[in-house]
Structures are given as structure tokens and as C-alpha cells.
A and B are shown apart, each in its own frame.
Chain A
Amino acid sequence: MDVEAAKAIGAGLAVIALFGVGLGIGNIFSTMISSVARNPAARDIVFPIGILGFALTEAVALFALLIAFLILFT
């Protein structure tokens, strides 16, 4: 197989991890919205934790993206 084609396929496979990250971030924000809706007073406590969870989950997406970039550009 052509190396360029193999690289493109590999980069595509590497970002399959975004499936899980999408589920994770959606789960974080849906839980955050429902907990704030149930108890609006808890907003100030819930919000930073939610953002922290978002940042930690997003990092997984970026690991996958980085692998894809490494495959494509190096």
C-alpha cells in the first residue's frame, strides 16, 4: 500500500477515540445541567468540578488528535 494512503488511514483510525470522548463530555454536561436544575443553589460548587471533568476528558481527545497529527506530519 502507498505510504501516504496508509498514513491517512492510520490518522483516521487514531481519532476513533473521539467516540468515547464525545460520550464522556456529553455525559458530564448533561449531569451538570440536571444537577443545577434540581438544585440551583449548588451551581457554584458544581460548575468548577464540571469544568475540571471537561478539561480532563478533553485531554483524552487531544491525545488521539496528537497521535493523528504525528502520523500525518512526521
Chain B
Amino acid sequence: MAAEGKTMDALSQFELTPIVAGFSNANLYMLIAGVAISALMLVGMRPRARIPGRLQSLAEVSYEFIDGLVRDQIGHEGKKFFPFVFTLFMFILFGNMLGMLPYAFTFTSHIAVTFTLALVVFILVTAVALAIHGLHFFGYFFPPGAPKALAPVIIPIEIISYLSRVVSLSVRLFANMVAGHVMLQVFASFIVMIGGLGAIGVVGALAPLAINVALVGFEFLVAFLQAYVFAVLTCIYLHDAVHLH
């Protein structure tokens, strides 16, 4: 995108820069997210007060939120998956939220990170289904009651849709984060471009500034929503694995 000969580089914010050899800024922010989650849980729950303080409330609310989600989606058997879903949700949420800080790096904006997370979910779901149902798991690819003649059509479609879960799960998170941050950058550069036009430009630049403020709020919503969607879909897949149809 070029304006007055200057090129705008909206994608440079996603570049990895090594801090130490083999340790990039993405690793640093993953480490910060891990430490922040552990600190929230350990320090927040330290008082164990009957009437919780702010930090303890935050820890309890996030725990109860995921606990309710797992119970609603998977049912009684879901209890043993709670630690997994909770870790996944908090890691993605903190990754997205840390990315909203100015000059911070969003590690969920890299397909390598989100694809790994989705692959972990996929392998776990398949392993759980195989462990519980054994070879009956392969019946998942042919819905009961469907006419036998349609088997050559239905089975490949079901297998493709099962495999494409990894792609859709990872690309959804990655695309949301990249598109959101690029959009903020594009509108921020509009402010500079219009502001450079002189006195009228400064007044005109208020419009993209107002839009950008609204977009930052929207991005915070998206940051939470995508972590939630990732957790919900993980729960739905686990439900499928536990109950098979």
C-alpha cells in the first residue's frame, strides 16, 4: 500500500527478532504469559479468603467460567479434561491480551503457534476417542441410519471434515489476530497520512483516530472471544470423542 511514495509496512509488527540465540520475542512473550498465568493463580489464591479480593475473584471467575463450559459441553466425563481446556484457554487469552499492549508481540499471530495448539487438540481428541471406543471410533465416519449406498460419498467427506478441524481451528485464531492488528496499523497510518496535510488535516485525522479507539475496544473483545471459541470448539470435539455422535 503506497501513499505519496512512502510504503506502509503493516506486517513488520509480526516479525520475529532473536533476543538471545534461539530465543525470539515470541518465546519471550510465551514465557511472560506462562509466568503471568501461574502468578495469577498462585498469588491470587494465596489468601483463600471467604470474601475474595480482586485478584482472588479474577482467579475464581476464570476457573468457574471454564468449569461451567466444560460441564455444559462435555458433561460428567468432562471433569478430567478441565486442566487441559483451562490451560489452553488461559494461554491463548493471555497471548491475545498481551498482544494488545503497545509495542508488545502477539505470539498467537503466528500460524506455527496456533497450528501446534490445534494439532495438540486434534491428537488428544483422536487418542481419547480411540482409547474409549477402540475400533468403534471408525464408525464415526459413517453416521448410523445413512443409506449404505451413500457410503463411498459420505465416508471421504467425513474424513476430510474431521481432518480439516486442525486447519480451521488454527487459521481462525491466527487470521483473527493478524487481521485485527493489521487493521489497527492501517487506521493508525491513516491518522499520520491525513494529519500531514496541515491544519485541515489535523481536524480530519480525528475521524480515523476515533475509529482506531473503537477498534482497540473491539480487538479486546475479539481477543477474549477467540480464546473462548478455541476452548468451546475443543470441548465440542472432546464431547464428540467421548460420546461419538
Chain B residue with the shortest CB-CB distance to A67: B175
Does chain B have a CB within 8 A of A17? no
Q: State whether B176 touches A62 (Cβ < 8 A).
A: yes
Produce 1/0 per residue, A51-69, CB < 8 A to B.
Answer: 1100110110011011001
Q: State whether B178 touches A66 (Cβ < 8 A).
A: yes
Q: State whether B178 touches A69 (Cβ < 8 A).
A: yes
Interface of A is mostly: helix
Q: State whether A52 touches B229 (Cβ < 8 A).
A: yes
Residues of A within 8 A of B182 (CB): 69
Residues of A within 8 A of B9 (CB): 73
Chain A residue with the shortest CB-CB distance to B10: A73
Residues of A within 8 A of B11 (CB): 69, 73-74
Q: State whether B179 touches A65 (Cβ < 8 A).
A: yes
A18 to chain B, nearest CB (A): 12
Interface of B is mostly: helix
A69 to chain B, nearest CB (A): 6
Range of interface residues on A (Cβ < 8 Å)? 10 to 19
B115 to chain A, nearest CB (A): 14
Residues of B within 8 A of A66 (CB): 175, 178-179
Range of interface residues on B (Cβ < 8 Å)? 10 to 19
Which chain A residues numbered 2 to 60 have a C-beta less than 8 Å away from chain B? 51-52, 55-56, 58-59
Kindly state the separation between the CA atoms of A60 and B232 in the bound complex, as whole angstroms: 18
Produce 1/0 per residue, B150-175, CB < 8 A to A.
Answer: 00000000000000000000011001
Chain B residues packing against A (C-beta within 8 Å): 1, 9-11, 171-172, 175-176, 178-179, 182, 225-226, 228-229, 232
Chain A residues packing against B (C-beta within 8 Å): 51-52, 55-56, 58-59, 62-63, 65-66, 69, 72-74
Pairs A–B under 8 Å by Cβ, sample size 23? A51-B225, A52-B228, A52-B229, A52-B232, A55-B225, A55-B226, A55-B229, A59-B172, A59-B175, A59-B176, A62-B172, A62-B175, A62-B176, A65-B175, A65-B179, A66-B178, A66-B179, A69-B11, A69-B182, A73-B9, A73-B10, A73-B11, A74-B11
